[in-house]
Amino acid sequence: MSTTTVSRTATAGLVGGALWALLPVAWSLTVLDDVERGTLSWFAVAASYWIFAVLPPALILAGLTALRRALGDDAGRVGGIGMAVAACGMAAMAVGNGIEVGSITAGGGESDLGHSVFLIGFLVSVVGGIVTGVVVLRRRRDALSRAAGVLLTLALPLGIGIGLLGSSLDPENDAWFWAAIAVPTGIAWVLLSLSLRSVRPQAPAELATAS
């Protein structure tokens, strides 16, 4: 994969990470049931559900692709498996949220199937994210990557801490649930994608020297 293609997929990961980190903010602004169905406000809120809950995991998949290509053989077999597991988890989260949001926007309420698929995907993504974070820490030396690796590795305990804080401050607010799940991973992918985007293409003279 060319450097330009890696940069483009890393950009998708960057956007996905930013939207994922902002999910709890978007979720706390308004609830679809609080606006009149069929109005412009209703469509705007429904669109925000798709943009912040369904799209980000799919975009982070592109970021995982950029990371896999950037690491190449340095990822190793375990790293490759970890990133594949993380990708499966993210895909399941996107599908689960898609089922859930689709049911909500269609007027059917929350979906047990969508919720279950999402939670399973989350658990799978945590396992894959830990392995991915360790590989990033071992193989990429820049500050952004190392910070992202720490966040990916510690996403679960950080999320638990956020959830406990939220339950003590505002236990009725679902935004804290989404903050626990999305914020550490979202910020990690913003940082890691910025690092992947900063890779400079080699000039012809540099390529000749390297060869």
Q: Where are the domains of the chain?
A: 3-210
DSSP state of 203: P
Choose among 165, 136, 116, 130: nearest CA to 66: 136
Whether 20 contacts 189, CB under 8 Å: yes
Rg (CA), the chain: 18
The residue ranges of DSSP E strands in 43-194, in sequence order, are: none
CA distances from 34 to 19, 46, 159 (A): 23, 12, 28
CA 205 – CA 14 distance, rounded (Å): 31
Identity of residue 197: R
pLDDT value at residue 204: 40
CA 192 – CA 10 distance, rounded (Å): 8
pLDDT value at residue 3: 63
CA 82 – CA 181 distance, rounded (Å): 19
CA 151 – CA 6 distance, rounded (Å): 22
pTM of the model: 0.86
Mark residue 76 as left, alpha or beta (left: phi above 0; alpha: psi -120 to 50; beta: remaining).
left
Averages of pLDDT over runs of 10 residues in the chain (211 residues) are: 72 96 86 80 89 95 93 91 96 96 84 94 96 95 95 96 91 88 96 84 41 40
